[in-house]
Structure 1
Amino acid sequence: MGKPKIYKIATVVALLLIISAGAWYAVLPTRHKAIVKTTLLQKTGIVDGDWRVSDATKQYVMISPTFLIDGIYKSMEGPKASNYVQLSKDSSLLWITGFHVRALDAKTKERLSNDFICHMNVDFNDVNYFTNFGLTDRIGKQYPRMTSLSHGLEDFAFPKGYGIPMKGNDWLLVTTQSLNHNLPDINQLVKHEVTIGYEKSGGIKPLMTRTVFIQLPYDKKDPYKQPLDPASNQCIPVETKNHSYDDGHGNKLSGHWVVPPGRNVYRSSIDAQLQMTDSLRLHAAAIHVHPFATRIALFDRTAQRPVFVSRIVNHKDRIGLTKIEPFSSEEGIWLYKSHQYELVLEVENTTAIDQDMMGSMFLFFYDAALDGILNR
């Protein structure tokens, strides 16, 4: 076979591969397109793909790789990046006291709108963490997420005198994701600056985290069927692959669902997620919701009153969250083992189309068992 013919065949094969790749990319959801695009841009060096880390006194600061914002990216859809970090190189005890995330212009490093921040998650290795403190019975009991910041709650600190203890050389996984609800015609290079505040001194009381979130049932045989029966308490999931759960009886639940135009209230029990074996004293809560949420409450069903209410302020002139009210208390509020609890989320979708929604809390309780271990 002559070289001209080989070149022709190679050209045809290359064209077919390009066409196939383009067709495959075209049918991907926005979330997966962002993953492919971000990986390609960073691997080819077109945008910066490295994390920048500095460890100042009492602050561990990271700057993410560059994210290209080139269109609308709703919640959970934008370019993202993850990084494993150690707050120190030795096993000395540190106390995490707060978390912060900022959006920066990738070129000038000037502060940008928080509207470019979807969320920032901090996960920990529960096997190492609990083994270090002799609490191996806690391993695998809950998804090991320490906390999450999100659009509307970009700064969160524990009340004075409280923190999360950890060995300095334990690993944390930090993931940050970008967002853009309002600017379809945009080409903006964005970075996220993530800060973890910590103390080295003692005299701090330990907190443990519990993640709770609204889960609503959906029809697993026909999940996108509309309209819903108002009496069914069912939802339309955004998708059935992510944030989809089983209630233990073969029924499907979604933690990421569709909200129609207008006002609605969503609620679900969190007793299984709390895993309370004894009464606990709550000192802080970080809240995660999506735009159009207006209020979320941790509700005591037994006492028929809210434990606390987080008020949520939406932008008036565009889609987005101006402020999510966290909960913080040095005194604390008791949650009782004998009581039942739920999350209650109020939503007002002011647009003419369906929107997506989540409602979750990262609850921080005084950890009496760990306090006893640290002070014995």
Structure 2
Amino acid sequence: MKKSKIYKFSGVFILISIIGGGIWYWQLPNRHKAIIKTTFLLETGLVDNQWVIDNSHHEYKMISPAFYIDGIYKSMEGPKSANFIQLSQDPSLLWLTGFHVKALDSKTKKQISNDFICHTNIDFNDVKYFSNFHLEKRIGIYYPRLTSLSHGLENFTFPKGYGIPMKGNDFLYIITESLNHNIPDANFLIKHEVTIDYSKNNTATKPLLSRTVFIMLPYNKSDPYKSPLDPGKDYCIPVETKNHSYDYGNGNVLSGHWVIPVGKNTYRGGIDGELQIKDSLRLHAAAIHVHPFATSLTLWDKTTKTPIFISKMTNHTNKIGLSNINQFSSEAGVWMYKSHEYELVLEVNNTTQVTQDMMGSMFLFFYDKELDGILNKKSL
């Protein structure tokens, strides 16, 4: 075959591949487009692709790679980046006491609107973490997330005298994701600055353990996106069935990320299976994660028919977004019991004319009596 024909066939093949790839790309959900776009930009070095670390003054501060904001990115859709970190290079005991995130202009590093912060997750390696404290029986039982910051709750600090203990050279896994609800013609770069507060050798600090709870709603797995929903059936419409979807093997599937219609609605979800209270626990702090149009999220005691606490949300009045989410913090603490039933109750008010996406989660922090006993024996 002549070289001219080879070049011609190669050119046609490349052209067809580009067209096919373009069609495939534009059919993807916005979230998956952001993943591909961000990976390409970071891997090619077309945008700043390095994490910048500053670990001083008992705070670990890091600035993310650049995120290219080129359109609307609703909750869970925006460009994101992940990083493994160690607070120190030795195994000395540290106490995590607070978490913060803010959005920065990519060039000037000056703070910009929190409207470009979707969420920042702080996860830990439960195998290493619990083994360090001789608590191997906890491995694989609890969701290995310390907390999550999100739009409306960009700063979270434990009450005085409490913290999460960990070995300084343990790894934490940080994921931070961007957001843009309001600027359709966006064309700029941002970064996120994530800060973790910690202290050293503080024997007066009491340890906390984290439990993640969230509302899960059933959906029709044979026709998950059917709208309107059948009257009388307690179904939701999931945002998608691949992520935040849970199958407990009883024929029912549940979604932790669902669609809300226009107007006011209430959603409930039992959380006893997520809490796994074996005796009693004393709650000292809670970080809350919801999406815009949520108005309150209540930790509800079904047994006593009373709230443990109610977190109120303030939504923007002239655009989409959350101005503030009330967190829970108490030095005295509130007792929760094995014999009681608990649930989350979410109130929403979708003031737009189209459906919106929603989640309702809490990161609950309880006094860890067992770990306190281990630490006081100085057996580590």
Q: Would the TM-score normalized by the shorter structure come out above 0.5?
A: yes
Give runs of aligned pairs for residues 2-41 of structure 1, distance below 5 A.
2-41=2-41
Once the two structures are aligned, what percentage of the paired residues are identical? 66
Q: State the superposition RMSD in angstroms.
A: 0.9
1:164 partner letter: I
Aligned to 1:373: 374
Secondary structure, counterpart of 2:119 in structure 1: strand
Aligned to 1:238: 239
Q: Distance in 2 between matches of 1:261 and 1:12?
A: 48
Aligned to 1:112: 112
* Displacement after TM superposition at 1:49 (Å): 1.1
* Displacement after TM superposition at 1:222 (Å): 1.2
Deviations 1:190-243 (A, max 9, x none): 100000000003210000000000001111111112222453221111111110
Aligned to 1:134: 134
1:132 partner letter: N
Aligned to 2:253: 252
Q: Distance in 2 between matches of 1:326 and 1:68?
A: 30
Aligned to 1:124: 124
Deviates more, 1:6-15 or 1:135-144: 6-15
Secondary structure, counterpart of 1:369 in structure 2: helix
Aligned to 1:311: 312
Is there any run of 5+ residues in structure 2 with no aligned partner, and where?
none
Q: Distance in 1 between matches of 2:299 and 2:132?
A: 32
Q: Distance in 2 between matches of 1:247 and 1:3?
A: 59
Q: Distance in 2 between matches of 1:161 and 1:184?
A: 45
Is there any run of 5+ residues in structure 1 with no aligned partner, and where?
none
Q: For the structure 1 residues 364 and 230, does the alpha-carbon distance in structure 2 shift closer, same or farther, using more than 3 Å as the test?
A: farther
Secondary structure, counterpart of 1:128 in structure 2: helix
Deviations 1:156-190 (A, max 9, x none): 00000000000000000000000000000110101
2:135 partner letter: L
2:17 partner letter: L
Aligned to 1:57: 57
* Displacement after TM superposition at 1:2 (Å): 2.8
1:29 partner letter: P
Aligned to 2:229: 228
* Displacement after TM superposition at 1:21 (Å): 1.3
Aligned residues: 376
TM-score by structure 1 length?
0.99
Q: Distance in 1 between matches of 2:119 and 2:60?
A: 18
Q: Distance in 1 between matches of 2:231 and 2:327?
A: 31
Aligned pair 1:266/2:267, yes or no?
yes
Deviations 1:21-66 (A, max 9, x none): 1111111110000010011111111101111111011100010010
Deviations 1:70-121 (A, max 9, x none): 0000000000000000000000000000000010010111111000000000
Secondary structure, counterpart of 2:237 in structure 1: coil
TM-score by structure 2 length?
0.98
